[in-house]
Structure 1
Amino acid sequence: MGLDPQVADALRSRLAEVANRAVLTIIDEVPSYAGSLSGRMGEVIRNAVQLALGGFLTLATRQDADAPKAPAIEGAYQLGRGEARSGRTVEALLAAYRVGARVSWRDMADAAVAAGIDPGQLARFAELVFAYIDELSAASVAGHTDELESSGRVRQRNLERLARALLTGAPADAVNAAAERADWDPPVTLTAVVLPESQVSAALTALDPRTLQSSDDVPGLPEGHASLLAPGTGSAGARPALLRSLQGTDAVVGPSTPWLEAAASHRRALRCAALGLEGQVDADEHLAALLLGADPEARADLRARVLAPLADLRPSTAEKLTDTLRSWLLNHGRRDAVAEELFVHAQTVRYRVGQLREVYGDRLEDPAFVLDATLALA
């Protein structure tokens, strides 16, 4: 049985309002659509939503459950092709459908209840709404796929080649030529992101549509991981926004660099990934660890040289004095701070520092030795 005409009229009177709220929510909740409200794209999205809802109401009031849906299906198919040409992923497109369906159903159900729909018809109405949305989203995915498999396929290959050129540090003229072939507008900055392959789809949904990914093996990349290059504006708030977009992932985020220097960001991200840290990792917060780990053999040699005067002591004594020397250096000689860190009495610290002075003598006051010891023991 079709939808009651009185209920349908009440719903139709609110189509523009429902469509506008759905579009606003999509733009707010799906990062790939951020900034799409104004201009031609915003109008296209708003009209597409309103047309789809209007087509649904026309079908819902028909007695024939198999009433033709060709205009709406064709519109959804063309929407999918257009989104592919705009560089948006199919994940972003489906996310927009999920958000739009949720908002539209909530508003339309409220209006239907206010218009006096009975419970049985409301349940049938819900079935029709979500079946209709499924058909539209499937048509959009088909359009998106067809576009990528035709004209989009060539551009995708060019984007992948551009990503590899940037990640491997190709000459600037070669990178610029690759960007032109890919019809890719260079941003102010690029930030390398290394993350598990299983998290790439979710990350691409949240990141700028111009984000690049290389499909080839990238030298130095851990097995099971992928490299992305996320565009940025260079503004103060751009990096915090990028990190928020990657919340919930195990992404290692390199520094933001001028776009032609993206290879430097990628090298830093790979070195930071090698530290074995868990969860989301901002390479900018681990510069000291990266510096100290840059040449492990040199650091080991430096440590051995710094601790050489303790070599003749009993191992347990040498270990205690090593811990005390490290804490004493890092706490700038503040006895109470050293005692708190080592869980010993301040007098014990005083005694151990006295032992260190007997072993090292004036070197404890030598800035060059202090620097070597701090780096070796940090």
Structure 2
Amino acid sequence: MAEQGLRFTGLDLPDDVAAALQAVLPRMAERTVTAVTAEVPSYAAAFSGRMGQNIENAVQMALGGFLRLAVRAQDTDPTATLTPALDGAYELGRGEARQGRSMDALLSAYRVGARVAWRELSGTAVEAGLTADTVARFAELVFAFIDELSASSVSGHADELATTGRVRERYLERLARQLLDGEPAEVLHDSAERAGWSPPSTLTAIVLAEAQTRGLAARFGQSTLLVSEDLPGVGASDSLAVLLAPDLDVRHRRQLRSALQGRRALVGPARPWMLVQSSYRRALRARTLPVADDVDIVDTDDHLVELVLTADREAAEDLRERVLAPLSGLRPSTAERLAETLRSWLLHQGQREAVAAELFVHPQTVRYRMTQIRELFGDGLDDPRTVMELTVALAVPKPA
């Protein structure tokens, strides 16, 4: 405040000069508002009607505060006079942030206001016979005052944005966690409203390493949600995160792959936004799928059969053991060879040439093996239920 005291040293103006300056305040406030309206388009609508009158009153109060600074004695503390004006400017900056406007318009308004105010004040000061030195000091005081108001508004604007941003981030993270937990619809709607989040039609869960999420959310749009800690069903040591990306249906799957290029990711299906928990669960299940090491993006839409067949691995193993029981008395290598042939025969609907091509054997070898299989399974290969069970059991990858 010592520096401010030097900047705002009072001018000890005579009473008649102070009265003359006070008398021009209403006119000065009106002309300031008119100039701002004309020169700063962002405020044209704001100055109409009752709002315009309120702003004009506020301008007049600020100018009145400045005059009290100017006419006070040189050895008095400016704090009591300056603080209310700075507090008002601070709140004005916060209000601009809440309205979604940048500081550019307000700073322009301050510059216009300073010019108009100085024109009015200097004219009155010269008419009152003030010396050139006093008029020059008067100019310094005007622009120092505007400078302080501008800085206070900038601070208020920045603080509001920071506060609003942090609060909104907390609300968005809370919403994302509630979605992953499958909270009721009314809870989700309330959280979305609090966060100022416009729900998309669908959300898709994308699970990937936390270190690979940087800059990714922005590629999927403003409705994208991110959770990077304490994921349901994931250990802390896994260091995974989940993106909930909006509206990635079949038509936009190519866009998804492009955005994820160079990252290892598990992608769930698109689901109505309140049901994205099922997308997340499926993406997590994809961690158990047997995929090649060079496959980075596992889109569960491309692995539905494998996901269905491995949904209950214990049941799948029980089924495999039961339906392949006729092979249990053979040597393991022979049993494995016949099971492989039976699988191919079922999938190729008995086309011997196709089976031989897949297994890289002679068609006669296929015929010989199938003769063995028929002897082992008997009439079961003609039973639709048995054929279905064999097809499912042999489609499930055998545990290593």
TM-score bracket relative to the smaller structure? 0.5 to 0.7
Q: Deviations over 1:183-220 (max 9, x none)?
A: 10000110011011111013223221221012441111
CA distance in 2, matches of 1:297, 1:144: 60
Corresponding residue number in structure 2 for 1:229: 244
- Residue number among 364, 384, 395 corresponding to 1:347 in the alignment: 364
When residues 374 and 263 of structure 1 are mapped into structure 2, their CA distance, relative to the original with a 3 A threshold, is same
CA distance in 1, matches of 2:366, 2:219: 52
TM value normalised by structure 2: 0.56
The amino acid of 1:363's aligned partner reads: G
Q: Deviations over 1:225-258 (max 9, x none)?
A: 1011001175x52333233222222121110011
CA distance in 2, matches of 1:202, 1:147: 24
Q: Deviations over 1:145-202 (max 9, x none)?
A: 9666322100100000000000110111101111011010000110011011111013
The equivalences for 1:200-215 within 5 A come to 200-215=213-228
Corresponding residue number in structure 2 for 1:319: 336
Corresponding residue number in structure 2 for 1:66: none
Identity of counterpart residues, as a percentage?
53
SS at match of 1:201: coil
CA distance in 2, matches of 1:162, 1:371: 44
The amino acid of 1:286's aligned partner reads: H
CA distance in 2, matches of 1:208, 1:309: 56
CA distance in 2, matches of 1:276, 1:148: 47
Does the 8 Å contact 1:162/1:175 carry over to 2? Answer: yes
SS at match of 2:216: helix
The amino acid of 1:225's aligned partner reads: L
Runs of 4+ in 1 over 3 A off after TM superposition: 142-149
SS at match of 1:202: coil
Higher relative contact order (CA 8 A, sep 6+): 1
Corresponding residue number in structure 2 for 1:199: 212
Corresponding residue number in structure 2 for 1:187: 200
Does the 8 Å contact 1:189/1:257 carry over to 2? Answer: yes
Question: Is residue 284 from structure 1 mapped to residue 301 from structure 2 by the alignment?
Answer: yes
Larger displacement relative to structure 2 (213-222 or 164-173): 213-222
When residues 188 and 233 of structure 1 are mapped into structure 2, their CA distance, relative to the original with a 3 A threshold, is farther
Does the 8 Å contact 2:356/2:362 carry over to 1? Answer: yes
CA distance in 1, matches of 2:182, 2:365: 54
Does the 8 Å contact 1:188/1:233 carry over to 2? Answer: no
The equivalences for 1:7-26 within 5 A come to none
Question: Is residue 254 from structure 1 mapped to residue 268 from structure 2 by the alignment?
Answer: yes
Does the 8 Å contact 2:309/2:392 carry over to 1? Answer: yes
Does the 8 Å contact 2:228/2:240 carry over to 1? Answer: no
When residues 281 and 178 of structure 1 are mapped into structure 2, their CA distance, relative to the original with a 3 A threshold, is same
Unaligned runs of 5+ in 1: 1-39, 41-77, 87-141
Does the 8 Å contact 2:180/2:280 carry over to 1? Answer: yes
When residues 215 and 249 of structure 1 are mapped into structure 2, their CA distance, relative to the original with a 3 A threshold, is closer
When residues 192 and 144 of structure 1 are mapped into structure 2, their CA distance, relative to the original with a 3 A threshold, is farther
Does the 8 Å contact 1:160/1:214 carry over to 2? Answer: yes
CA distance in 2, matches of 1:276, 1:333: 27
Corresponding residue number in structure 1 for 2:376: 359
Q: How many residues align?
A: 242
When residues 321 and 376 of structure 1 are mapped into structure 2, their CA distance, relative to the original with a 3 A threshold, is same
CA distance in 2, matches of 1:145, 1:290: 49
Does the 8 Å contact 1:161/1:214 carry over to 2? Answer: no
Question: Is residue 178 from structure 1 mapped to residue 195 from structure 2 by the alignment?
Answer: no
Corresponding residue number in structure 1 for 2:152: none
SS at match of 1:341: helix
CA distance in 2, matches of 1:207, 1:279: 19
TM value normalised by structure 1: 0.60
CA distance in 2, matches of 1:282, 1:233: 12
The equivalences for 1:120-131 within 5 A come to none
When residues 233 and 337 of structure 1 are mapped into structure 2, their CA distance, relative to the original with a 3 A threshold, is closer
- Residue number among 276, 284, 294 corresponding to 1:270 in the alignment: 284
The amino acid of 2:192's aligned partner reads: A
CA distance in 1, matches of 2:160, 2:319: 59
Does the 8 Å contact 1:164/1:216 carry over to 2? Answer: no
Unaligned runs of 5+ in 2: 1-41, 43-92, 102-154, 396-400
SS at match of 2:324: helix
Does the 8 Å contact 2:228/2:242 carry over to 1? Answer: no
The amino acid of 2:326's aligned partner reads: P
SS at match of 1:209: coil
The equivalences for 1:295-310 within 5 A come to 295-310=312-327
CA distance in 1, matches of 2:317, 2:223: 43
The equivalences for 1:126-145 within 5 A come to none
Does the 8 Å contact 1:187/1:259 carry over to 2? Answer: yes
CA distance in 2, matches of 1:215, 1:252: 15
CA distance in 1, matches of 2:379, 2:194: 65
SS at match of 1:305: helix
SS at match of 2:296: coil
- Displacement after TM superposition at 1:276 (Å): 5.5
